[in-house]
Amino acid sequence: MRSRLWIALALSTLVVGLGACSKQDLGVEPRVTIRGFGGAAKPDTTPKPTPPPDTTFVPAEFVSADSTQAGASGVSRWLLRTKKAFTTTWTLTGDPSWPGFPIQGTLKLTPNKAVSLSVPFLVPSSAISGIYPLQLQVTSTNGLYTAFGQVRVFGNDSVPPPPPQPAVEFTGSDSVMAGTSGNTYWRVTNESGHNFTMDWTLTARYAWPGFPLQGSVALGPNESRQLIVAVPVPDTAAAGPRMLDMQVTRPDGLPNGASTGWIFIFH
């Protein structure tokens, strides 16, 4: 009987010890914590990237322009677009020397639809052949926008007549040693349609003996001829180019003609 009681007491002590050990081990067991369950989640504060601007949308675009003859009118053609209903104001400019620019107007635009714009312009009769710039500036919902175009012009390319030949023109001279003489060369022209005897006078801008030199030349209708005048150079003349002045008479009571030349002197 005593042995059974002893065994029961021993088993009871063992169970109590195991229970104590189990409570002490709770401190090393992993703990799982669930937060936010049933509560509101915190907002995402990370800034979202800004999308790049839409560069595929073009408010105004050049299409074509008629090749135009100088002195006539041509037409330029454009396409205009908008993302919102909008009435645009447009301005067309061209070559700065052309009259009539700038040309302005307004156009009602429909969202996301290309609207055609035709603008006539005048090419001046003085324009020469070539390609000339055109520029269309439009207002958009985002501000001003400029589109560029061009027009081919067939102009008046005839060569203008040369200016009339002057009555007298210096064409050259010899280099001479002081104390000798050298030639000066002049082109003289009869500006009339009949014969004319031209009188000429050559003066030096220095106190050279023998000046002024004078003479005359007979010229046919509208004739040009080379006139050679020998110039005596005193031995006291300074080295370098020395200035000379030629004056001639003109036909039909026209005022005298004049030209300046020189002769180069060395020692």
- Contact 176/264 with Cβ under 8 angstroms? yes
Q: Mean pLDDT, to the nearest integer, of 63-67?
A: 93
pLDDT band at 197 (very low <50, low <70, confident <90, very high): very high
Question: What pLDDT does 213 receive?
Answer: 97
Which single residue is written with the structure tokens 């400029």? Answer: 146
**What's the whole-number average pLDDT of the chain?**
84
pTM over 0.75: no
Of 2.60.40.10, 3.40.50.150, 3.40.1800.10, 3.40.50.720, the CATH number of 168-266 is: 2.60.40.10
Q: Could you give the CA distance from residue 125 to residue 163 in angstroms, rounded to a whole number?
A: 22
Find out if CATH 2.60.40.3880 is the number for domain 60-154. yes
- Contact 178/234 with Cβ under 8 angstroms? yes
Residue 35 is given by DSSP the state -
In the chain, residues under CATH classification 2.60.40.3880 are 60-154
Q: Could you give the CA distance from residue 122 to residue 105 in angstroms, rounded to a whole number?
A: 16
Question: What pLDDT does 101 receive?
Answer: 93
Q: Mean pLDDT, to the nearest integer, of 187-204?
A: 97
In the chain, residues under CATH classification 2.60.40.10 are 168-266
Residues in the chain, overall count: 267
Q: Mean pLDDT, to the nearest integer, of 158-166?
A: 80
